[in-house]
Structure formats: C-alpha cells, structure tokens
Structure 1
C-alpha cells in the first residue's frame, strides 16, 4: 500500500481523529499509561506530517476532553506537561512547514502554564496556511454548543441580534472551528464505535472510519488505509445516490 493508490483529486479537506488506545497499548506491554501517551504524541506528529503531505487542509485531533479531568491527578499533570513539551519542540517545525496550530476547547480552564504555552504557539503560527491543526483541549461537543448559545444569547440581550436571524450559518460563525470546512472523515482508533462528544455540530454529514488499531500503532500506512476506504464511498449529504 503506497501513496500512488490515493486519488489526490478526492482527498478529504478536513479529517478529525479520536486518538484512542494509549493506555491499553501500554498495558499490553506491561508499561505505565504514560508510556502509551508518549508514543501517542509521536503518532500525532506523524499524522500531522502525513496530512500535510497528502494535501489535507484541516486536521482535528481530540487530545483532552472535558471528561478527562476525572483521570488520576498524576496522569492529568503528566498530560499537561507532555503537551507543553510537545509544543516547545514542535513550534519550529510548525513555522517551517506552514502549520497553523489552532486550539479548540475551554482553554481558559487549563493550568496557567499550559494555557500560556498553547496561546503562545497559536499566536506564533496564526499566519501559517499549509495545514490547520486543531488540537482539542478541555474540549466537549456539548460544551462548545453551550458556549455558542451563550454568545448568541448575549447578542440578543444587547439588541444587536434578533432571534429569527439565528440560522445554521450564523451558529457556525460562533463555533470553535469558525471559518473551517466541516470534517469529511472521522477516524477513531482502538475498536470503539462512538464519537465521544467530539465536534457534534460539525459532523452532521461526516463519514466515519473505525479501526481496531490502537493509536500508538496508527502509522502512515493505517492513515492511508483510512483515506483509501473514504475514497470508495459515495457521499450523499442527505440526497439520493446514483
């Protein structure tokens, strides 16, 4: 399986990935969960590079959900430190390769040092235009919709917006992903068949690809396999097929 098999004219513009299975991957190797998270970061970097190579415009990675705070305190602290280290090391590469880092989620609730690093990286790459890398941090699809509703409600209270003016397109302007195309393809690793509160509004017509492969094993070949599967599908967007 190689890139020559890929139809470059039907590459998805936006791919979203639920990166699942780090803990199980580590457990299978009788290692602590943090061992799996470290390997998972390597795969995230590889996925970004592959997306850039094949011409994907937006890559959304689900890194830390609003529910993940329920994990052991030591694991959460490790994940935040791992994120800061990743951004430190990857910033030069992002700048060089034209990757725009775009955090989505309730960033203001992250630890102060993590917030600072996340926002610094976003500012340093905001003019890059080769690939948008959405990193979902303290993200929940329901929380995103609540934040959107609050913003619209505030506009109504101020008198600058009438309720009847609220349409789908306007809602999209207040989402974390404003200005971006919706995901064409969602990939979920580790054999789970659910979307776990990820991009609920945006994935109305997204194609889903589920694989038993654990995230630390999801290499370029696995990513290519997902894209090839996507290219075999007929997207109807609620219409009738041929």
Structure 2
C-alpha cells in the first residue's frame, strides 16, 4: 500500500509540474552523475549502474522532445575518466558501442529526425568506439529536428585550449589579424558543426559543480543550473520538470532585471539610448509585478521630454 501511495503521489506531483511548465529551453546539457554509486549501493558492478543509467538517458530524450527542447548534450565520458580502472572502462566502452549502434538503428530516432553527434577527443577512444560513433553519426547526419550530442573523451578546458591554439596558428601563418577574431572564429574551431548556447545544465548525484562542461556555451550564455540528489538511474520525470522550472524562473528573473534597468535609465540617457531602453521596457514590462509596471503614457511623456530638448540634428537646443 505504501508503494502504491508513493507512486500515486509522484504521479500527481509530476502532473502539477507539467502544468507549471510554460516554455522549454532550447539546449539542455546533462551531467549524468551517480551511476557507479548507485550500483555500489545495490551491491552491483559499476557496469550495471551504467546500463541502468542508459534507460534513464532514453527517457530523458523523450521528455525533451515532449516539451520542445531542440538540443540535448550528455556528459558521458570525460578525459579524467581515462584514469579509472581499465576493466571498468573497457566494459563501459562495450556498452557505448552497443547502445550507439542500437540507437542509430532505432525507429524512434529516424521517425523523430534525431541527429547524433559526438563532442570531444574521440580519437583517444578505442577503435571499436570510434567505429560506433562514425556509424551513428553517418546514419543520422541528414536529420535536423533534434540534436543529441554525446560528450566522449570530453574536457571543456582542453577544447578551449585547442581552439585558441588554432586561432594563434592562423594569426602567425595565415595572416589572420587579431582585430578580425570574433566569437564565431572561436566557435568554428571548437566543434565540426554548430552547437547552440546552453540554456540549462542538469547535474544528478548530489554534487554541486559543473565539472568543466561546455564552458564556452554554458558560462558565456549564463545558463541556469539545476543540481539534484538522485543518482542518474533514479532520475525521474518530476526531477526533469523541476529542472525546467528552474530554467523558467531564471528567465523570468533575467527579464525583470532587464526591465528594471531600462526603467531606471529612461530619465538619464541620450536619444538613441532612450529608444533602446523604451524597447526593452515594452518587451519585458509584463514580467514585472503590477506595481512596478510603468504606464504607457509615462513612457511617451519621457520620450517627448527628451525630444523637446533636441533640435532636428539631435543636438541640445540653446
């Protein structure tokens, strides 16, 4: 009876959370932590934990597609993981080969237009894993409805270092001017194909750190972060929806901050800046509490006041 009641409560809570979700992040990145600790708690081998974790991975992909997420990145194997016992890694590599090929052949992947890509130093992985990666990428290369990134032999700092070294080489040998270096210059050297900015990072297993995961695309975009206690094999849809809610609250806070800053600047900026500030207020006004929302007539009055003090050339009148 207790188990039935718990399941019923969880189902109701999940339904409540589903109703609260009103907008999905475009790109979710997940640190799937806790597989080995989950297995140890049950008295199993680490590989058993990873295998159960794969089932969660498949569910998360479905949940992302249900709410409209367009890109999902999974932190599957870091460069630091090479230091783990060889037997454990070999078993994990076998599981990766099995699941990459299985997933690349799955009807649901092809029916939903899922493109599978690997991020990281794939060349460091055993040949059988590289072959499985190549197979999955080739089978799904033409799809563009949803992107599934598998971070393998991945280290965010090393990725950035490699990109910077590539830019430095172009400056030295190819005549690239330092002033010509842009955000796109770096991004084009990070990965073979574009990766969207990360909107939300989810980490399971209780640790509250992002572990050098997608620093350019997450930190640069000020991504929301959701830490939760369940180990990856235990991660539920309710946990997932709580993460999405964290993202939505982060977005709401950002909008309120932008609107408040713009209101504060309205009375103390030049004419071109005034137009931009007014635009920001109009876009994000509804995100403010009703008591803080400016009256549309006040905005018009502020703009007219600035206009009256300027001549036709935009200079202050004598």
Whether 2:83 is the aligned partner of 1:87: answer no
Question: How far does the alpha carbon of each residue in 1:144-180 deviate from its partner, in whole angstroms, 9 at most, with x for none?
Answer: 1122112212322332422221122321222227523
- 1:126 positional shift: 1.1
Higher relative contact order (CA 8 A, sep 6+): 1
- 1:86 positional shift: 0.3
- 1:241 positional shift: 5.7
SS class of match (2:215): coil
Q: Is the 8 A contact 1:52 1:130 kept in 2?
A: no
Aligned to 1:236: 254
Structure having the larger proportion of residues in helix: 2
Whether 2:125 is the aligned partner of 1:129: answer no
Whether 2:227 is the aligned partner of 1:210: answer yes
Aligned to 1:58: 71
Q: Return the TM-score normalized by structure 1.
A: 0.93
- 1:212 positional shift: 0.7
Corresponding residue to 2:134 among 94, 119, 137: 119
SS class of match (1:202): helix
* Larger Cα-atom Rg: 2
Q: Return the TM-score normalized by structure 2.
A: 0.71
SS class of match (2:254): coil
Question: How far does the alpha carbon of each residue in 1:94-139 deviate from its partner, in whole angstroms, 9 at most, with x for none?
Answer: 2232110010000111101110110121121111112100100000
| Structure 2 stretches lacking a partner, 5+ long | 1-13, 261-318
| Structure 1 stretches lacking a partner, 5+ long | none
CA distance in 2, matches of 1:126, 1:49: 20
Corresponding residue to 2:183 among 168, 181, 190: 168
- 1:90 positional shift: 1.0
CA distance in 2, matches of 1:54, 1:130: 14
Corresponding residue to 2:37 among 17, 21, 24: 24
Pairwise CA RMSD: 1.7
CA distance in 2, matches of 1:163, 1:171: 12
Taking a change above 3 Å as real, the CA distance of residues 77 and 57 of structure 1, as seen in their structure-2 partners, is: same
Taking a change above 3 Å as real, the CA distance of residues 134 and 107 of structure 1, as seen in their structure-2 partners, is: same
Q: Is the 8 A contact 1:172 1:178 kept in 2?
A: no
CA distance in 2, matches of 1:195, 1:162: 34
CA distance in 1, matches of 2:139, 2:168: 32
Structure 1 runs, 4 residues or longer, greater than 3 Å off: 239-242
